[in-house]
Amino acid sequence: MFKIFSRLIFILTLIGCSKYDEVKEKFSFAFPNYVTCNVVRVISGNTFDCQLQNIDIETIELIGVQISPSFKSRASEFSESCLRRGLPVKLEFDVGRYDGINIFAYVYVPGKGMLNALLIEEGYAEYNGRRSNVKYEKHLLSLQERAKEQGKGIWGEVK
């Protein structure tokens, strides 16, 4: 217990220094870039409503996920199968977090992993990166290439 307390005091002391951003980067584990929320309803394959801290309901848009109009209903069904009402999910943010309407996030579903990646990997969506939100660009693009090679989802219809 003393070890944990002394580490916490050490980190809090460092936060007060003038190199706040540098310290924050080195101790990023103490400053998580995510929040948890509870799913309220799925709007589409790449958007859903989520209740944050039992107060506000916000619309979440999956970063890097673009749904083809021909796969809109299938992508929505897939997202609905992953995001049931009341399910706590983890939202991880990138640089661009909000456009005035939606909150942009990578969404982690318990026991399934990152929903953004699952949609692309299964061929329900394709990667669509925004300049500022590219934290997982290489990973998502590699999943898209694999889905193309395997002819999954939209890539099976393209042949």
Q: Which residues of the chain have pLDDT under 50?
A: 5, 8, 14, 17-21, 23-27, 159
Query: 53 near 91, Cβ under 8 Å?
Result: no
SS3 content of the chain, % helix, strand, coil (to 5): 40, 25, 35
How confident is the model at residue 155, as a pLDDT? 93
How confident is the model at residue 49, as a pLDDT? 97
Helix or strand run (H / E) with residue 155: helix 154-158
Q: Give per-residue pLDDT as tens, 84-116.
A: 999 999 999 988 888 888 999 999 999 999 999
Burial tier of 107 (Cβ tally within 10 Å: 0-12, 13-18, 19+): buried
How confident is the model at residue 26, as a pLDDT? 47
Apex 153 CA angle, 151 and 155, nearest 5: 45
- What does 9-44 look like in DSSP terms, one character per residue? HHHHHHHTSS-HHHHHHHTGGGS-SEEEEEEEEEEE
